[in-house]
Amino acid sequence: MSRRKNWTLSIIGIIIVTVFLFPVYWMVITAFKTQTEISQSPPTFFPNDIQFDSFIQLLQGEVGQYFLNSVIISGSATMLVLVLAVPSAYGLARFNIKGVKSILLIYLVTQMLPATVVLTPLFIVFNNFNLLNTYIAPVLATATLGVPFSVLLLRTFFVGIPKELEEAAKIDGCSRLRAFLQVIIPVSLPSILVCGAISFFFAWGDLIFSITFNRNQDLWPLTAGVFNAVGRYGIEWNSLMAFATISVLPVIVIFVLLQKQLVEGLVSGSVK
């Protein structure tokens, strides 16, 4: 690649990144502005008088319970997705199962369905099993949509893993289960991390399942807290943006810490 072309692509990339990250930047600086500075014209691109009152007000309130609820729901849903998706994807990739293409087609169709389509059936099922107003309902709901995606992604990766690795493990005395746990899982760890991270992000950003299956606000996650804060704070945009900043902070931290593994996992199955 020529130097001129390299500079051109770099500038285009910087512009695209700036456009996508500007709303996040605006959300964060708004949280540190006073209500007067927010409404002034022309707007300021950096707070003239940085204030932390909106964050202090939230931390003294119920945001801690919302945060804990989000961690419980997202963490449980992620673990459930990985426990179900990893062995399922491995089985579809390694065993001669009749109707594999039909199964994969059904999984693909589930990714095309909006959450509102499965909302009513899940509500009826959870109501019959007395799972409403519990953590279990949103965990199962988010995992229901997360498992098919993870199976589709992981199966592609498992198909690309040479069978000779498992055969070598069997020669050394490993059973199929032990070879799966000690050989296949470590090799496919980047893709598993991708599925886990995406499942966590999806569960963390869920709103419709939580407010539908849990009428008890003590069980609401951060997203539902933000939704509730819109009407509570009205035009107090600094408090609302502080709530939103706290909500997206864990996602940003996880992405920054796992960005190398995420990129590696997403690219690993592309050639196959």
Query: For the domain 62-268, what is the CATH code?
Result: 1.10.3720.10
88-107 per-position pLDDT tens digit: 888 888 888 787 888 888 88
What residues does CATH 1.10.3720.10 cover in the chain?
A: 62-268
Q: Encode 24-60: b = buried (16+ Cβ within 10 Å), e = exposed.
A: eeebebbbbbbeebbeeeeeeeebeeeeeebbebbee
pTM of this prediction exceeds 0.85: no
pLDDT at 271 (0 to 100): 47
Residue 228 CA to residue 213 CA, distance in Å, equals 16
Residue 185 CA to residue 206 CA, distance in Å, equals 29
141-170 per-position pLDDT tens digit: 888 888 888 888 888 888 888 888 888 888
138 cis-preceded (ω within 30 degrees of 0): no
Q: DSSP class of residue 131?
A: -
**Number of other CB atoms surrounding residue 143 within 10 Å:** 23
